[in-house]
Structure 1
Amino acid sequence: MTVVDCTAFAGELRALTAQLPQVPRADIHAFLNSAGSAAADLPAALATALDSFNAEGNHDGYLLLRGLPVEDDEALPPTPTSTPAPEDRKLLTMEAMLGLVGRRLGLHTGYKELRSATVYHDVYPSPNAHHLSSETSETLLEFHTEMAYHHLQPNYVMLACSRADHERKAATQVASVRKALPLIDAEARKRLQDRKMPCCVDVAFRGGVPDPGAIAQVKPLYGNPDDPFLGYDRELLAPTDPDDVAAVAALSKALDEVTESVYLTPGDLLIVDNFRTTHARTPFTPRWDGRDRWLHRVYIRTERNGQLSGGERAGDVVAFSPRR
């Protein structure tokens, strides 16, 4: 299953939302604790879909929840033009959905160096945004496994849509390693498996240094060779050995061939399996009229691949440590 129609659950989900603290940023830990309790009462069909995806993933590498409750556009505030969000901003319905669904999957996590160490991120177009930033709009945001270079890379990236772009052109593209693997020849697969390659990091994690170089080491494929995890970033992975370069090129080609485009509309929540996919976003044209595209993003850690060591809470903030 890749798409779950949640239209029939709207009433139950609105009731659960009403149980949550209505100013989430006033105490993010308390808000997420409340969401964790409420997540136990999610509609059975939705809970089953989430639990199955969390346990096994799927072939496409993502789960799309469609038809969730969301404010009418007129009831929403203007699309943000700055970050972070004000601490006193009232809970938006799609933020509630990220709380409930995310707590069913694992622990919401903030990253110290990213977005002022906040847990909830507004994703919106911003003039003159860096080409590696989610705030870019009129250029392609290239394929990347989110924070593949980070020792505490999140298991899931979750994107919830309150407002689509005007022309409905912006696509979130996802490419799954489970679909790409059969397209890569055995020699390249063997080269990519468990082989550390130099990787640069995003601007937020460079410690104020304009270009610290490839300070991380990332394995493009790792884990079970027959069903591997993926660590890939088209902009930042920087192999130098000619055989490594060729193998990464074969991987890139295969990922391009299996790419799917998801057009997020209000009431959609996209859960990206960040250990088995790479994702991108196609260009769109903002109008700067207060009604531009507005997504909400959270990162979820689980027990997989050393993300948790014990005692963590939903809402914790972690500091950067590059993969070595």
Structure 2
Amino acid sequence: MTEGVEQLYFHRARGLTVTGSAATAIAARDGRVLAAAAEVGAGRLVVVGGGELSALPFLGRADNARFLLNTLSWLLTGQYAPAGSELAKAVTHERCFTVRSFHPEEDLAKVEGSHVVDARPYRSLLERIGGGILPDPYQEQAAFLLEAELRFDEMPRVIREAVTTFRHRSNDYEGLLVRGLPVDAELPGTPADPARRLDKSTWLSELWLAGFASALGFPLAYHQEKHGLLFQNVAPTPHNAANLSSESSAILLDFHTETAFHPHMPDFLMLHCLRSDHDGIAKTIMASVRMALPHVSLADRCELFLPQFRTGVDYSFGSANGVQGNGPTLPVLYGNPYDPYMTFDLDLMVGETPHAQQALEALRSAVNKVQRWVRLEPGDLLIVNNRRAVHARSEFSARFDGRDRWLQRVCLVSDPVPSAADRRGSGRVVETVFAV
């Protein structure tokens, strides 16, 4: 059974007590027997301290696949598996394991499910919630956020339930699309400088962002991003049209985890559409880890769990455009091996070994296979689970005439404590410094 097996990976295995001369210990760690075999009468018996040894997330590790093939062959024939190494390689490196199917439609708005909630039937109620005097969200931020949280409690139950369910259980797409929220009646021109706030006669867009954020976690800003604005404008600019920036338009802004390099990266990202692009073609694209992993081999999946990937610091945080690998080293996958989290930046991340780079390329292919998208319209709010999905944006034509595509963005974390030391006082601006 151990022919060709040099190392086994056990996950949460329990030790076995082996008694009698008939049983043979075949795997041990730290003095504990973790697997044993014995001949019993005319038959054969194998006991393993944990079935996860042969489960899909772990079958690609070490020599687990070869051990499983040898074990099955020995139980059946009393011999190790013929050509076992070739079979094990086929199982771990060449095969992908799809455990269930997903809806093939790419346009998220056309697929019914918990990932979409329609706010339009509640328009009159939402207009009342958004009416009346509001504190200035930029000059009286604390008062505004408190008021937004209180008003969110008046939202229709179907909307609050969708947000709460998404926070606790998410969904296969790792995104929640709220369609048709009321928009500001008198919207100014799309900002030529997205890093500066604009005066508006009403604050509906900020109210929705702050209200939904209060149900999801703790909204925060980053000092280097839009000068620390909590409500960030996302709009095209001529000088960044071809840069890896939220202000680009002429290029595909490819799949990435928002601020993947940051020690306090957001758990959720919210994008609220105030104005569509002129041609109505810009797509906000997503790919979830749950949908992508079935397209990744077991061997590559195991590589992605190792801390051997260097990501790059974003252009907006002071890095030169497109510089790869000048950020921290981290794993791409982490957490529960059966339902992991993912940190991935297709443009700026590199593997530190040939095997790691190969695994990155495999994940690149996988996220492109499972991509889903939506064309955001005014009043749409898209919430992205930033730890389980990557997002992207297609190219579009910008005219820089004050009527270009305009989104507002808010980042938020589930727990404000880890970032507290990097925020001044009780503020919400993270001031972590990066050397690039």
TM-score, normalising length: structure 2 = 0.68
Asked whether 1:95 is paired with 2:206, we answer: yes
Residue 238 of structure 1 deviates from its aligned partner by 1.6
Asked whether 1:220 is paired with 2:337, we answer: no
Is contact 1:151–1:321 with CA below 8 Å preserved after alignment?
A: no
Residues 128-153 of structure 1: per-residue CA shift (max 9 Å, x gap): 20511101001111111001111111
* Equivalences for residues 12-51 of structure 1 within 5 A: 12-18=125-131, 21-51=134-164
Structure 2: tracts of 5 or more residues without a match: 1-113
TM-score, normalising length: structure 1 = 0.91
Query: In 2, Cα distance between the equivalents of 1:198 and 1:147?
Result: 13
Residue 18 of structure 1 deviates from its aligned partner by 2.5
Residue in structure 2 matched with residue 113 of structure 1 by the alignment: 224
Sequence identity (%): 35
DSSP 3-state at the match of 2:127: helix
Residues 109-163 of structure 1: per-residue CA shift (max 9 Å, x gap): 0111111011011111100205111010011111110011111110111110111
Residue 61 of structure 1 deviates from its aligned partner by 1.1
Bigger CA drift: 5-14 or 18-27?
18-27
Residue in structure 2 matched with residue 276 of structure 1 by the alignment: 388
Residue in structure 2 matched with residue 57 of structure 1 by the alignment: 170
Mark the CA change 1:308 to 1:257 in structure 2 (over 3 Å): closer, same or farther.
farther
Is contact 1:196–1:218 with CA below 8 Å preserved after alignment?
A: yes
DSSP 3-state at the match of 2:410: strand
Query: In 1, Cα distance between the equivalents of 2:376 and 2:349?
Result: 28
Letter in 2 for 1:223: G
Is contact 1:25–1:89 with CA below 8 Å preserved after alignment?
A: no
Residue in structure 1 matched with residue 432 of structure 2 by the alignment: 320
Residue 217 of structure 1 deviates from its aligned partner by 1.7
Larger Rg: 2
Letter in 2 for 1:257: K
Query: In 2, Cα distance between the equivalents of 1:141 and 1:293?
Result: 15
* Equivalences for residues 134-153 of structure 1 within 5 A: 134-153=246-265
DSSP 3-state at the match of 1:158: strand
Residue in structure 2 matched with residue 267 of structure 1 by the alignment: 379
Letter in 1 for 2:394: T
Structure 1: tracts of 5 or more residues without a match: none
Asked whether 1:181 is paired with 2:293, we answer: yes
Query: In 2, Cα distance between the equivalents of 1:84 and 1:271?
Result: 22
Mark the CA change 1:281 to 1:212 in structure 2 (over 3 Å): closer, same or farther.
closer
Is contact 1:32–1:315 with CA below 8 Å preserved after alignment?
A: no
Bigger CA drift: 130-139 or 223-232?
130-139
Residue 87 of structure 1 deviates from its aligned partner by 6.7
Residue in structure 2 matched with residue 251 of structure 1 by the alignment: 363
CA RMSD across the alignment: 2.5
Flag the structure with more relative contact order, 1 or 2, with Cα contacts below 8 A and sequence separation at least 6: 1
Bigger CA drift: 205-214 or 118-127?
205-214
Residue in structure 2 matched with residue 5 of structure 1 by the alignment: 118
DSSP 3-state at the match of 1:70: coil
Residue in structure 1 matched with residue 59 of structure 2 by the alignment: none
Residues 3-38 of structure 1: per-residue CA shift (max 9 Å, x gap): 101112222222222256242111212211211222
Letter in 1 for 2:176: L
Query: In 2, Cα distance between the equivalents of 1:191 and 1:138?
Result: 34
Bigger CA drift: 173-182 or 38-47?
38-47
Is contact 1:107–1:314 with CA below 8 Å preserved after alignment?
A: no
* Equivalences for residues 78-89 of structure 1 within 5 A: 78-86=189-197, 88-89=199-200
Residues 264-302 of structure 1: per-residue CA shift (max 9 Å, x gap): 001100001100011110011012222111111110111
DSSP 3-state at the match of 1:135: coil
Is contact 1:61–1:272 with CA below 8 Å preserved after alignment?
A: yes
Mark the CA change 1:49 to 1:154 in structure 2 (over 3 Å): closer, same or farther.
same
Figure out how many residues of one structure are paired with residues of the other and give that number. 319
Is contact 1:20–1:31 with CA below 8 Å preserved after alignment?
A: no
Query: In 1, Cα distance between the equivalents of 2:381 and 2:418?
Result: 26
Mark the CA change 1:22 to 1:33 in structure 2 (over 3 Å): closer, same or farther.
closer
Query: In 2, Cα distance between the equivalents of 1:224 and 1:77?
Result: 46
Letter in 2 for 1:233: D
Bigger CA drift: 9-18 or 87-96?
87-96
